Structure 1
């Protein structure tokens, strides 16, 4: 298992609190590009400058943040009530290990009154029915800095499953961050301007992508992200190649960019899957609506169990995404018409 990918996945970086991930990414990419800087929103932008006046100006965006929880209240006996940061299926939280990221971090788990007392859960619990149990009361938690507004990370170490597949938390979108880092290393000698952008707060509303697009002002952009599998319909399967977005719940991808990617895949025998979905969207949507409009699409890696701590991905798909995008970046188009 690649050490960098493991470290990226296991590092905590809930939306709005991406500092640790950003520091790790900056350390990796700063040797491969001409400059790195952090904008006012907290995005990390790594720039490979152009050596040609007519060069394309490209933006590849991968978001650093992950889903998580935040404390709403703490009862006298220490029951921590919370709300979510990002979209989380409530059932995926039951029994989940967590770390309260207070001044002195506190370990705990998500539970319900029924589960705590060993009773059957007869009705589907909602977020408001759950709480975090740390074994500490309110006074003890306060002494460690755990209070209203403290962020809570979902805990899970990366593990291997069948073949080249692995599971873990935050695959969305540390996989994209990893791909961007690998591309930065491969594109050291590129004649074109490539902006590797590591965005913040995608899970809350794709806020970092919007502000960074104004900073970069690209000719076109690709969000390097993940896509949820749809095995029941034999779509977006693990190990069958990265996905190229056609349409999601909020955007239609730029056809010119998609056609270019599909042509590269066909010529180089890189397996790909087309992604048409009614669920969710990515940084590409916000990018496409910025600066008077930016041609954009998404290259994704299929994930099982999206937005959980047991997301599953294939290294084969990741490596093929790197291959596909590296070929594109060697000779990127200047103009991408609709």
Structure 2
């Protein structure tokens, strides 16, 4: 099972350039749904037809990354960030620049001498950093490196704690994509009319979800996403290994209490560990979905991840598998009550 997660994590998919990860997902999920389609902005919509309520399950395909701004006379490549990635986490990071010729150029993010006493007295800003490829400006031009080229953060996928924990780039939100694919495999019989939506450009503005929700017009929705693990804080929330988390509030919305109640009752009935997340940081596709057309009752099922929006995250396979179980138990016999 983790081989699929590895393929999802290893695939490229920076916001605005999600074609590679979309192809991986489409190939995997196609045999478990009735039809798939790609809309005008790149959302992949996989439809499992049913006669009941129209349910949208969303996971975003895009990851944080970088884009080439320009190259100086010495061949140093300067970049702009795509998504909320902290500059401090970038120093020493390996990258792959996808050139205009569709070739990859390897590099390492660096800055002026790190041991310089003036530099170490302050946190770095993105403008302090550049990519060293070892090439001259002229060599980079011949390789097709130009402003606007996407830069992927390169990290190997791996395991900690005898395989219970996984680490890698883009766990936000390839864990969500993995959960929806595995759910589609299991959920072959349900009355619900289910749309598995793999959205684009979540990291830069929650754009894909709004467009897909407008088209689908779901009765209710759940966004499956990463959430920051706070198991090292004084008030421990989103503890890795303690189960998926229902987000009750984030910086953009208060989630739907009826759907949250369904999830809580399902977890209790089937003895699935569940946590609750109240935070002031960021938001998810659920925000865009909620305020589409006349409004869509929505909530968030989050997987706790350490080092969220850094170059490498850590997640628990137990949490991921429990999220699959939670959604399966909820949807194979979906609630018939109204969502209010």
The TM-score, its normalising length taken from structure 1, stands at 0.96
Return 5+ residue gaps in structure 1 as ranges.
Answer: none
Match of 1:45 in 2: 45
1:308 matched to which residue of 2?
310
Unaligned runs of 5+ in 2: none
Runs of 4+ in 1 over 6 A off after TM superposition: none
Q: CA deviation at 1:161?
A: 1.2
1:253 shift after superposition = 0.3
CA RMSD of aligned residues (A): 1.2
- Determine whether 1:283 maps to 2:282: no
Structure 1 segment 1-338 matched on structure 2, within 5 A: 2-50=2-50, 52=51, 55-102=52-99, 103=101, 104-115=103-114, 119-120=116-117, 121-122=119-120, 123-163=122-162, 164-231=164-231, 232=233, 233-334=235-336, 336-338=338-340
- Measured after TM superposition, the shift of residue 334 of structure 1 is 4.7
C-alpha displacement of 1:26: 0.4
Question: Following the alignment from structure 1 to structure 2, what is the Cα–Cα distance between the partners of residues 216 and 27?
Answer: 22
Between the aligned partners of 2:4 and 2:198, the Cα distance in structure 1 is 16
TM-score normalised per structure 2 = 0.96
Instruction: Tell me if the contact between 1:56 and 1:333 (Cα under 8 Å) persists in the aligned partners.
Output: no
Q: CA deviation at 1:186?
A: 1.1
Tell me: CA distance 1:273–1:285, structure 2 relative to 1, closer, same or farther (3 Å): same
- Structure 2 Cα separation of the partners of residues 21 and 335 of structure 1: 36
Q: Is the 8 A contact 1:168 1:311 kept in 2?
A: yes
What is the CA-CA distance between 1:166 and the residue it aligns to? 1.4
CA distance in 2, matches of 1:45, 1:246: 26
How far apart are the structure 2 equivalents of 1:161 and 1:119? Answer: 34
* DSSP 3-state at the match of 1:323: helix
Is the deviation greater in 328-337 or in 163-172? Answer: 328-337
